[in-house]
Structure 1
Amino acid sequence: MIKTISWFTYFWLYQIALLGSLIKMKFLELKGEDDRVKNYTNQLAKNWAKSLVDFTGSEIIVKGEDKIPEEPVLFVANHQGSFDIPLLLGYINKPKAFIAKWELRYMPFVSGWMKNMKCIFIKRNDFRQTLRAFKDAGKVFDAGQSLVIFPEGTRSCSDKLGDFKRGSLKIALREEVAIVPVTIKGSYKLREANNGLIKGDKVELILSDPIYVESLSKEERNDLTLIVREKIKENL
């Protein structure tokens, strides 16, 4: 309980401490220095995310980071817990955006840098809005950002791998970007599902070899969701 209270206290104090950084970010925006805004925001977000995970006292092991191509990619990961985004943001060293729930657009402080990182916000119960948002994915890659998706659609809160939603990888096929499967092992342990308590534990992020969609056969393209799911499952 003490660690949980300490973590949430740290979380909100950090948000307040970010205020000066957000003012600087807005100043750079007004000056039209887009590249500086992007680089500054990505570094700010990475530091923020890593500090939140580190504060839990967890051991984080990253395997296969050297496999990531230089160009923007689509990271496809399983979704075990509420720390998955901070883990991917803080421990995989590549500028990235996320597909996030609509409500995060209004979260104090965080929403500002999420927008600058080109995060895509979706309304889960609004199919048309979600479809329009997914069509904007090309703008993320054009901005030099990679994109992270969780094809299960919701957290498993366990070591079980759920089904991937059909069509979730059409972004990669339409934009012809490489897919990097990411297996997240143990993140659900950092925040207990039954009581929300924060605790430290061991988490592994395992990156598989990239899948270059332009080299896939028609059959492989049709089975892409299953192929990526199997690669993530192999490392669980």
Structure 2
Amino acid sequence: MIRLIVFFLYMSGLLVYSIPRLKKMKKLPMDMLVHERDLKVHETPQQWSRTIMKITGSRVAFSGEEHLPDGPVLFVSNHEGDFDIPLLLAYVNKPFGFISKVEVKKVPVLSSWMETMNCVFLDRKDRRKAIMSIREGTELLKQGHSILIFPEGTRSKGGPIGEFKTGGLRLGRDAGVPIVPVSIQGTADIFEKNGRLVKPAIVSIAICPSIPFEDYKNKDLKEVAAEVKAAIITAQKNSSMAP
């Protein structure tokens, strides 16, 4: 209970305290290089996320950073729980925005930070708006920003990895960027498996070898989804066997 209280107090104070920084990020020069701008914006969310992970008391094993290619990529990750985003922001040193449910857009300050990070808000209940969101994500990738998607569409809460839907993968193919599979294990043990309380857990992130655009551009997206899912499952098995 104490960790949960500390977490909410930290987030509440943080959002108010971050408003001046947010205004500065929104005023960054328009002619600034995309990579430089994204790194500058990424500093604050990464710092928050590292503090959040410290509050949970979790031990994190991170591997595969050498697999990150230069330039924009489509990160494709399995989705265990609510702490997946803070975990990835804290440890992946390549700035990225992510696809989020549209309801989060109603949260003051947080939604403005997400927009500045190049996140895309997806309304799954409205097909037309969902298609527009996919196009928005594609344009962001073409502009040089990286995007993260969770193709399961919902949290597994520590259960078996669900079916990978193909809609999000279209972003990578339409933008012509590499796909980077990402394996997450243990985040559900922080929150979802504890009756909605925050507790320490053993967590791992593994960045899998990227899939170049040339290797998947002519494949059926269902085949691509299966390959990405298989890579993530293999990474999880290897992580489980590690001493």
TM-score (normalizing by structure 2): 0.88
State the match for 1:134 in structure 2.
134
* Conservation of the 8 A alpha-carbon contact between 2:169 and 2:221: no
State the match for 1:207 in structure 2.
207
CA distance in 2, matches of 1:23, 1:137: 23
Extract unaligned runs of 5+ from structure 1: none
Give runs of aligned pairs for residues 41-52 of structure 1, distance below 5 A: 41-52=41-52
Aligned-partner SS, 1:11: helix
Give runs of aligned pairs for residues 1-236 of structure 1, distance below 5 A: 1-26=1-26, 28-29=27-28, 32=30, 38-193=38-193, 195-216=195-216, 218-219=218-219, 223-236=223-236
What displacement does 1:24 show?
Answer: 2.6
Give per-residue Cα distances to partners, 1:150-184, cap 9 Å, x unaligned.
Answer: 00000011141111113331211111110110010
* Conservation of the 8 A alpha-carbon contact between 1:168 and 1:225: no
Aligned-partner SS, 1:171: helix
CA 63–38 in structure 1, closer or farther in 2 if over 3 Å, else same: closer
What displacement does 1:221 show?
Answer: 5.4
TM-score (normalizing by structure 1): 0.91
Which one-letter code corresponds to 1:72 in the other structure? P
CA distance in 2, matches of 1:65, 1:233: 18
What displacement does 1:193 show?
Answer: 4.3
Worse overlay, 119-128 or 210-219: 210-219
Which one-letter code corresponds to 1:202 in the other structure? I
* Conservation of the 8 A alpha-carbon contact between 1:81 and 1:188: yes
* Conservation of the 8 A alpha-carbon contact between 2:77 and 2:182: yes
CA 45–112 in structure 1, closer or farther in 2 if over 3 Å, else same: same
Amino-acid identity (%): 34
* Conservation of the 8 A alpha-carbon contact between 1:117 and 1:145: no
What displacement does 1:194 show?
Answer: 5.9
Aligned-partner SS, 2:192: coil
Cα root mean square deviation, aligned: 2.0
CA 138–224 in structure 1, closer or farther in 2 if over 3 Å, else same: same
